[in-house]
Amino acid sequence: MNKERVRNVLLAAFTAMALSISSNAQIRSASGKLIVMSPQNLPDAAQVPGEDLFLYPNRDGGYYLYEEQQNGSRLLIFDVTDPSRIKLKATQQLAASGPFDFIDYLSDKTALVRYRNGKGAAILDLRDEKRPALHEVSALKDNGSTLIMDKPGASEVDQAERSARPARKEYEVIDTTSRDQPIVLAIVRQVEHQLQNKDTGTTFLLNREGLTIVRRIDVEQSFLAHQRQLTN
């Protein structure tokens, strides 16, 4: 092997290693105001494919993110109050008949879920935030639409759209600090579920690779400063 050949091989190996390292690192915008965290930046459980997501304001004034996994039989509870320190708080097994979609709150301690493929509905009991329980509801077995009336701005949820796994979308995370030349920081492909916490500015994207999180640092810092004022 000649020297040029060795140089090319070494360069290729170094490039491959650099790409591997960068794929596991957080992606930051030039201004530092936007951060993309891949599943590898999160607790190991977040690297497992999930079914759906649900954001819940907990009794401490923060937020829990519930991630449904394993065809509805497992629920992960992440503390996402401080997006820079996301923690897995608990893992709860559910007595689910199959994969389901979170529909909406029924009250501040319960949420409506509906099984896919017309298999009925259930209520997620959140009185114990770290150990939710799933209770099936025989009155909601039929397919169709659900109209939730006890919430401000009651809205109709068309269940026909939730009868199968949602269509997968591609999300581009764009840094618009320079309006003349916006930069694509990351592309998250095959996203099945997307949630946003407007208080912290955090966006949660779920695909077959796991959970990806997009952080807006300015919004995040304002929220955490407000949290500190409330506790002092």
d(CA 96, CA 73): 6
d(CA 148, CA 99): 22
Domain ranges of the chain: 27-231
Q: What is the DSSP annotation of 81-150?
A: SSGGG-EEEEEEE---SS-EEEEEEEETTEEEEEEGGG--EEEEE-SSTTS-EEEEEGGG-S-SEEE--S
* Percent of the chain topping pLDDT 70: 78
pTM of the model: 0.79
pLDDT in tens, 108-118: 899 999 999 77
Residue 57 phi, psi dihedral angles, 5° rounding: -75, 115
Candidate from 16-20, 41-45, 118-122, 212-216 with smallest mean pLDDT: 16-20
- Confidence at 66, pLDDT banded by 50, 70, 90: very high
Structure confidence at residue 79 (pLDDT): 97
pLDDT in tens, 209-232: 999 999 999 999 999 998 888 877
Largest CA distance in the chain: 76
Structure confidence at residue 117 (pLDDT): 77
